Chain A
C-alpha cells in the first residue's frame, strides 16, 4: 500500500506558538488523558506543512469545517453524505488533549459532542511507540431541538438512524522531535450514521496510511470517490472504487439481518468474476486480526457469553486497546442477529464520554449494555456488574501458576470471563472448542497457523449464528399457530373459504434460519364456526387481520411438548431459559416485528383478493 509510494511523514506537524516552553522529556503519556492544566483559552493552532505538498491554500484553517483546502460542490457533498457524515482530523492539543482540528464536510456538533468525538478517537492508554491502529466508537447525539435559539448553525446536524453517531478512527503515532510531547499523534475519523464496521475499517486501512503520507489531496480523492458511489440501498451488492482498489460489498436488508458468507448472492458474484475476492459483508466485525486471539482466554465460556448476549445481560468488556474492544463488540453484536439488538453497545467507551455518569454508576447496569473499555478505572467502577469479559490470550504456559502476577504486565483484569450470576443452560460444542484450542496452540511460526486461525474464527461465528437461529425455532413454531387460518380470514371478510394458500410459506422473516416445520393442524374442520380473535374491526368498518395474541403459557406448553432446537442441559433449564428470554426487551421487539410482518402479508392478501 503505502510502501511503494514516496512518503513524507512528518510533513503534517503541529506548530506550536513560538513562546511555548522548550521540549519536555519524551516519555510516552496516555494519549487522551494528559496531566495538564485545562486551559480553555488556547490560541488557535495551525498546521504547518513542508513544501512537499504544493498548492494548498494558506487560508484553509481559518474555520473548523474546511480541511486542507478541500471543497466540493453542494450536490457532491449530498452524495458523499449518503455514506458518511464527515471526516474529522483529531490532533493532540497539549492543553486540552485530543481536539478536533477540522471536519469535512462541515457538521454542526455541540461542544460536548465534539469533545466526545475527540476523546473517543484517541486510545486512552499508550499503545505503541510508533504505529497505527483502527478502532471505533458509538456516541449518542444530543437532542438540539430545544437548543439555544441564538445558535444559528452554519452546517447541518449529523444524520442518524438510531440516535447514535458511529466513529471509525485511524490513530497514528510517530516520533516527532519538533513536538513538545516528542510524538505526533493524530487520528483520521470517519463519522457516519451506518453501523457497518467492515466497510469503514476497509476504507481506513487504505485511507489512513495514505492520508498520513500525502495529506489533503488524499482526502480530496477519497471524498470524490465516495461521492461517485451508488446509493447504499438495503440488500444490494455493490462494486465500489476507492483509491485504486475495488471493494465489493454487500449491504444487509436491515441492521438485524444476518449476513452469511454462504448466501446465494455471494456465491453468484464469486462464480462470475474470475479474480474476485469474497465480498465485504458490511455489518460484520473486521476479520483481521482473527477474532480467536481476543477470546482465547475465554473459549470454554463462549457459550455462556452467547447466552448472556441473547438474554440482554450487561457485559463489561475490557481490552488493552480500543482496537480489541471495538472488534470484540462488533463481533458479539453480530452473533445475536437475526434477533433484534435491544440494548446499547459502545465499542470504545472513555471516561470522557458525555454519558459516562449515565452508564457507569453505583446502580445496576442497564439491560443489554455492552461496554468496551480500556481504562483500568472501569474495573473498580463496574465491580458490581454481573459479567465481565477481559480480552486477550492466556498468559504463556510456563507462568500459568503465577498467572495473577504475570498478567499484571498490563493494567486491568487478567484475560478471561467472570460472572457473578450466570449458569450455562446449553451444552458446549466440544469438537468446535477443540478446534479453537488447537488453532491457538499452534506455534506462531507455523505457516499453517494464519489459515487455521482464520477458518476457526469463521467457524466460530457460523456456530453461534446458527445457535441464534435455533433459539427462534420453537417461537416460530408456536407463532405459526397464531396466524389466522384461511378459513378464519375468509370468515373475517365474510367470503367463502378459499383453498389454503401459501401464507405459511411467506414465513416469518428469520434471516438465515431454515424454513419452519409447519404445523398443519390448525385448520378448523370446514363448516364449523370458530372464534376469530385474530382480527378487529377498524374505524372504517374494514377488518384488520393480525396475529392472534401471544400467550406465554401456551408457548411454554408448546415448547414442552415439541422441545427446542438448542441442546439444553435439561428440560427444566430449557423452560427456564425461554421464560427468561420472553422477559427481555429483545423478545418484545422481535414479536412486534413478527406481528408487523404477518399483518403486512395478511392485509396484502385481503387486498389482493378483495
Chain B
C-alpha cells in the first residue's frame, strides 16, 4: 500500500499471486520475509487470507505483486478458488520436514492445473530448510526455532527434538531430488527456502517475475484498463531473456523499489 515512493510516471503491471499449502508450512513467513524482510516466531495462523502488496523492479519494468496469503486450515479450503481465480502466479509451499505436506502441495498443484488460469506460473517451494542444514549458523537452538511455525492445525515435526548438527539432516522427510523431480515433471518452478534465514525467498519471486509476460500484459491492457484483460491477454509462455532482478540483492528490500 505504499506507492508513494515509486517512480513518478511508471506504469506497473499488477500480478496476482496466491500462496497455497498445508497449515503451518510457513506461507505467511515466506511472504513476510519477502515483503518486510522480517521473520516472526510463533506467527498466529492466518484466517481466510491475508492481502499484501510488493512492488518490484525487473530491469526497466515495474511489477507489483498483489499477494493473497491463504489460510492452510482445511475449513478454508473451499474458499481457495476465490483467491487463485485470475491469479497469474501461485506459490505452493510445503515443509521439507513433513512428508505429508508435499502430498498436500501436490493436490493443490492438481487443483490449480485443473481450475486456475491456464497460463498460471506455479512455483513449488520446500520451506524450513534451516531445520535440515547442519552447517547453518543459526541452527544452534533448533528446538526453539522449530516452534516458530507451529499453530493449532499442525505441529512442526522435530519440535522439541534435541537436535544437534548431526541430527538435523535426519529431520528431512522430503528429499530435494524427489520434490525437484516432481516439479520438473509437473512443469513447476522449484525452490527450497528458509523464511527464517531468508534463503531462497527472493529467488522465488524473481523467477516468477521472469516468467510473467509483462510486455504482453502491458500491451493487452493499454487503452483497456481492465483487470480481466490482464489475465485474458496472457497467451503462451512468457518470453525470457534479459529480465533480471538486480543481482546484487540478498534481501527483498533491496530487490524491490519500494
Contacts and interface: CB of A to CB of B under 8 A. Distances in A.
Interface of A: 4-6, 53-55, 210, 214, 217-218, 220-222, 224-225, 228, 230, 238-239, 241-244, 246, 270-278
A274 B222 contact: yes
A53 B48 CA distance: 15
A217 B218 CA distance: 36
A398 to B, nearest CB: 39
A277 to B, nearest CB: 6
A320 B35 CA distance: 50
Interface in B4-25: 6, 9-14
Contact of B82 (A53, A228, A244, A277): A244
Contacts of B81: 4-5
Interface of B: 1, 3, 6, 9-14, 47-53, 64, 66, 68, 71, 74-76, 78-79, 81-85, 115, 217-218, 221-222, 225-227, 229-230
B9 A271 contact: yes
A221 B74 contact: no
A54 B153 CA distance: 14
Contacts of B9: 271-272
Given A225-B48, A241-B66, A246-B66, A274 B11 contact: yes
Nearest to B8: A272
B153 to A, nearest CB: 10
B13 A274 contact: yes
A241 B68 CA distance: 9
Contacts of B52: 241
18 contacts: A5-B81, A6-B78, A54-B75, A55-B74, A217-B48, A220-B47, A221-B49, A224-B48, A225-B48, A225-B49, A241-B51, A243-B49, A273-B14, A275-B13, A275-B14, A275-B230, A276-B14, A277-B227
B48 A238 contact: no
A278 B227 CA distance: 11
Nearest to A8: B78
B32 to A, nearest CB: 13
Contacts of B3: 272
Nearest to B18: A244
Nearest to B15: A275
Contacts of A6: 78
Given A275-B225, A276-B225, A277-B225, A221 B79 contact: yes
A221 B53 CA distance: 18
A274 B217 contact: yes
A275 B50 contact: no
B48 A270 contact: no
A275 B217 contact: yes
7 closest residue pairs by CB, A with B: A221-B48, A241-B51, A244-B82, A224-B47, A244-B83, A275-B230, A274-B11
Contacts of A278: 225
B11 A273 contact: yes
A230 B47 contact: no
Contacts of A218: 79
Contact of A272 (B12, B51, B53, B71): B12
A512 to B, nearest CB: 23
B12 A273 contact: yes
B143 to A, nearest CB: 28
Contacts of A222: 48
A273 B64 CA distance: 9
B154 to A, nearest CB: 14
Contact of B85 (A4, A55, A217): A4
A238 B74 CA distance: 31
A217 B74 contact: no
Nearest to B46: A224
A225 B51 contact: yes
A173 to B, nearest CB: 23
B50 A274 contact: no
B226 A277 contact: yes
A4 B52 CA distance: 24
B74 A54 contact: yes
A217 B47 CA distance: 9
A270 B225 contact: yes
A365 to B, nearest CB: 44
A214 B14 contact: no
Nearest to A54: B75
Nearest to A53: B75
B18 to A, nearest CB: 8
Contacts of B11: 271-274
A217 B225 contact: no
A5 B13 contact: no
B132 to A, nearest CB: 32
Nearest to A2: B82
Contacts of A55: 74-75
B74 A274 contact: no
Contacts of B48: 217, 220-222, 224-225, 243
A455 to B, nearest CB: 16
B47 A275 contact: no
B79 A217 contact: yes
A288 B62 CA distance: 33
Nearest to B219: A274
Given A214-B79, A239-B1, A273-B12, 18 more contacts: A5-B79, A5-B81, A54-B75, A55-B75, A217-B78, A217-B79, A218-B79, A225-B48, A228-B51, A241-B66, A244-B83, A246-B14, A271-B9, A272-B11, A274-B13, A274-B225, A275-B13, A276-B225
Contacts of A243: 48-49, 79, 82
Contact of A214 (B13, B78, B115, B221): B78
A278 B224 CA distance: 11
A242 B66 CA distance: 12
Given A222-B48, A224-B48, A241-B68, A274 B79 contact: no
